[in-house]
């Protein structure tokens, strides 16, 4: 394989024609995950008493809010210029994000609501390290990718009422490829971090159980039927399998089913926020791969081998 062939394969991977159904359906799946996040509609460990709020507020009172009345809070490096929101502003932003999430899901006025959702998500995450959660970091990235992508050409109110096509008759696969790579990196690093004695022996699961991190009506049944080691091996094995299984056509559906089982199982036993449902939503990014287009790519999208 020569260098020119490698570059052609690279360009096909990142810039080939997109399946017109892919981004709209991925927007819908991600919009559902956003609504879950801002209503608190997740956590099977709480079954049968879900806690749904319109909206869900992460911080409810001033004493529990991590920024003091003078607006002081440690900032991320080089981001000290970002204003620190008061509790009232932060709660108003959560309300706005719930409304924007519904618009995002429905694909309504998306050229405005898509980027606005991404910007609000970015601000709510980057304003202070006290707002950090691993699942909100992922949510910020994916919302930014989809919020600025042409994903309302189908299955949206914009398409129904305004015949919106985002100005692109044929979008490229780039936004979905970015999300696919992100999902792969998440599973790669989470799996290699667990290839150690505590996880492979089940000691970590036992630590979770003894610390009270495992709860809910399903946990006793699961622990009665699966040993700590079995649960550890299932977790490590499934995450490792997803690293490559999602990319192999013959393994894709088994990998997705295994991933759904893993994340539903986690949500039945532990409080991990909306992370499990975010990952399930992102599996949609792997469902619409098609044979590379033979249409010549625009010269502006090609990487020259010279």
At CA 187, angle to CA 303 and CA 74, rounded to 5? 90
pLDDT number for residue 257: 98
The closest alpha carbon to 128, from 87, 89, 83, 98, belongs to: 83
Q: What is the pLDDT of residues 127-179, one digit of tens each?
A: 999 999 888 999 999 999 999 999 999 999 999 998 755 444 578 999 999 99
* 232 in Cβ contact with 199 (< 8 Å): yes
Q: What is the pLDDT of residues 272-302, one digit of tens each?
A: 999 999 999 999 999 987 554 445 555 555 5
Give the number of other Cβ atoms within 10 Å of residue 116's Cβ: 18
95-116 pLDDT, tens digit per residue, is 999 999 999 999 999 999 999 9
Name residue, tokens 């040993």.
Answer: 227
More confident residue, 164 or 17: 17
Residue 92 predicted with pLDDT over 50: yes
pLDDT in tens, 200-210: 999 999 999 99
Cα-based distances in Å from 109 to 94, 101, 152, 232, 257: 20, 12, 9, 45, 34
Query: Given this model, what pLDDT does residue 1 score?
Result: 62
Q: What is the pLDDT of residue 191?
A: 97
Q: What is the pTM of this model?
A: 0.90
For 216-275, write each residue's pLDDT tens digit: 999 999 999 999 999 999 999 999 999 999 999 999 999 999 999 999 999 999 999 999
**pLDDT tens per residue, range 23-74:** 999 999 999 999 999 999 999 999 999 889 999 999 999 888 988 767 677 8
């Amino acid at each position: 394989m020569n260098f020119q062939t490698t570059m052609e394969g690279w360009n096909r991977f990142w810039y080939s024609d997109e399946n017109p159904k892919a981004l709209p359906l991925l927007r819908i799946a991600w919009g559902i995950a956003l609504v879950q996040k801002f209503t608190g509609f997740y956590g099977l460990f709480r079954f049968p008493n879900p806690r749904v709020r319109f909206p869900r507020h992460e911080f409810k009172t001033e004493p529990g809010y991590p920024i003091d009345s003078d607006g002081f809070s440690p900032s991320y490096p080089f981001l000290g210029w970002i204003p620190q929101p008061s509790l009232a502003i932060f709660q108003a932003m959560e309300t706005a994000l719930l409304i924007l999430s519904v618009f995002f899901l429905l694909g309504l006025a998306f050229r405005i609501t898509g980027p606005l959702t991404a910007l609000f998500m970015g601000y709510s995450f980057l304003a202070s390290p006290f707002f950090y959660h691993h699942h909100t970091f992922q949510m910020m990235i994916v919302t930014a990718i989809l919020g600025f992508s042409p994903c309302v050409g189908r299955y949206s109110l914009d398409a129904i009422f305004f015949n919106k096509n985002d100005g692109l008759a044929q979008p490229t696969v780039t936004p979905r490829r970015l999300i696919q790579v992100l999902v792969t990196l998440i599973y790669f690093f989470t799996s290699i971090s667990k290839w150690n004695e505590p996880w492979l022996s089940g000691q970590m699961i036992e630590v979770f159980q003894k610390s009270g991190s495992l709860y809910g009506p399903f946990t006793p049944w699961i622990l009665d039927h699966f040993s700590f080691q079995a649960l550890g091996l299932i977790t490590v094995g499934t995450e490792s399998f997803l690293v490559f299984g999602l990319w192999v056509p013959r393994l894709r559906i088994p990998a997705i089913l295994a991933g759904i089982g893993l994340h539903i199982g986690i949500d039945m036993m532990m409080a991990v926020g909306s992370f499990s449902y975010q990952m399930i939503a992102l599996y949609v990014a792997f469902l619409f791969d098609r044979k590379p287009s033979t249409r010549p790519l625009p010269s502006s999208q090609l990487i020259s081998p010279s």
